Amino acid sequence: MCHRHDILKSNNKDLQQVEQQWDRRNFLTKTSLGLGALALGSLLNTEKAFGAMAGSDQKGTNLFNRNGLGLPHHLPKAKRIVYLFQSGGPSQLDMFDYKPKLRDMFGKDLPDSVRQGQRLTAMSAEQTTFPIAPSIMDFQQYGESRAWVSELMPHTAEVVDDLCFIKSMQTDAINHDPAITFLQTGSQLPGRPSIGAWLSYGLGSDNDNLPTFITLITKGMGGQPLYSRLWGNGFLPTEHQGVQFRSGKDPVLYLSDPKNYDGNDRRKMLDYLGKLNELQHDAYGDPEIMARMTQYEMAFRMQTSVPEVTDISDEPDYIFDMYGEDSRDPGTYAANCLMARKLLEKDVKFVQLYHQGWDQHIGCPGGVRNQCKLTDQANAALIKDLKQRGMLEDTLVIWGGEFGRTVYSQGQLTNENYGRDHHPKAFTMWMAGAGVKPGFTYGETDDFSYNVVKDPVHVHDFHATLMHLFGIDHERLTFKHQGRRYRLTDVHGHVVKDLLA
């Protein structure tokens, strides 16, 4: 039997190769310079273990040539980002883009010279008239920057000197799903990598025990649906996709061990699974095999790190007071803003918040007022909190939706009520921290907040500027897929240098 086995082994090169590999692995794991030592080096963070190099930050982390991609391309201003995405299209007219001349034009038809035959949604395309609906909100100027903010956002008004308003945003999409997809991935069509996935791919992680890219969604909000592809990896390796954290007992699905199953059991299972996947990878060379193991190992480490970082019970009362009473209720927008700060403190690179419900086709004044009550205090608190911790200087904060709203009323117009349809040609976003000009307003719209008349900023320009703040030349971070090299900005976009401090 032994002789027969030797003959079979000599005739089976694959089996012989596998046994040689196992011999090599066993040898390495039993030596002081083997995989055990390499694993320890990984836990200690090799970039720090071998000392700071030129181009390192104060923590000794090498800022250049992460992931072997030669990134970042230049010294970054931003180390981390929190994107407060307001899904549905907030009305710039009722919040930031003050247009006092409209008060004298109440109910008059929007001039054709202003509308210029622009595309309309199916919801207002059949209207025979487009009556102008001035905002019923009171506006005032605040701060040294004298920024205009409506009565709906008293807390945001307190931090305007930290904000950089872009009042000339433009997008190509007029309906929600393609518009949200466009802002999150750079394409109206599904399947492209999200912003967070691109940053994860290009810059890697600063935290070994939490994902590079985490998503939080306000609980209990209706509105346009949100799909996981918005924080997906597209055609990039799967370890770069965002991970959704939920409120409640299990923040990350399927992370907890089953009943009567402990960490030692899972560790043994992962070790054996890792060996099998290494054999599979050696046989087929598919990088997704090892990417999957990377995710399994991250999930194992997250069993300890996630409960710690998602526990906000140890926050002092003054922090809860600053974010608002809702911040004590996990899953609310305020609680998610507080959670975002904790994640950023743990060096999570990209935290994405989604808050639905900004789609006010009817009842716009009441709808926007309610949304601001849910979000205004927490937005301002996040800015203040990051600033008091010295984090705002290298944390990029972004607020905005997928498009704006029309100056004309959709549906019935009264002195106290109106609706607003989607408007992609002019809307407002703001940014703060990490190298953008504080207390600054960029771009202008016409007297109807319908067309940009100065310094337009397209979505591709916004993406290019975001990447620049992270030290990335948006034209050089590419990934080859199906024979073509893709990038976040496709073949468009330029850095808006006037936004940079």
Residue 23 or residue 230, greater confidence? 230
Domains located in the chain, CATH noted = 80-251+327-499 (3.40.720.10)
The pTM is what? Answer: 0.84
Mean pLDDT value of segment 323-333: 97
Q: Are 356 and 87 contacting, i.e. CB atoms less than 8 angstroms apart?
A: yes
What is the rounded distance in angstroms from the CA atom of residue 476 to the CA atom of residue 74?
Answer: 12
Q: Residue 385: how many CB atoms within 10 A of its CB? A: 21
Q: Using CA atoms, how far apart are residues 163 and 437, in angstroms rounded to an integer? A: 8
The token pair that represents 474 in the structure block: 């948006």
Judge whether residue 52 has pLDDT over 80. Answer: no
Residue type, 95: M
pLDDT digits (tens, 9 = 90+) for 85-116: 999 999 999 999 999 999 999 999 999 999 99
Query: How deeply is 291 buried, as exposed, middle or buried, from its count of CB atoms within 10 A (0-12, 13-18, 19+)?
Result: middle
Mean pLDDT of 324-341: 97
Q: What is the pLDDT of residue 9?
A: 45
- The per-residue pLDDT for range 9-38, each reduced to its tens digit, is 444 454 455 445 545 444 444 444 444 433
Q: What is the DSSP string of 461-474?
A: HHHHHHHHHTT--T
pLDDT value at residue 286: 83
Question: pLDDT, tens digit, for every residue of 146-203?
Answer: 999 999 999 999 999 999 999 999 999 999 999 999 999 999 999 999 999 999 999 9
Query: 260 falls in which pLDDT band (50, 70, 90)?
Result: confident
Radius of gyration of the chain (CA): 26
Say whether pLDDT at 377 is over 50: yes
Is pLDDT of 387 > 60? yes
Residue 419 has pLDDT above 80, yes or no: yes
Place of tokens 């899972």: 266
Nearest to residue 368, comparing CAs of 95, 85, 83, 84? Answer: 95
Please give the mean pLDDT across all residues of the chain.
Answer: 87
CA 260-263-265 angle, to 5 degrees, is 70
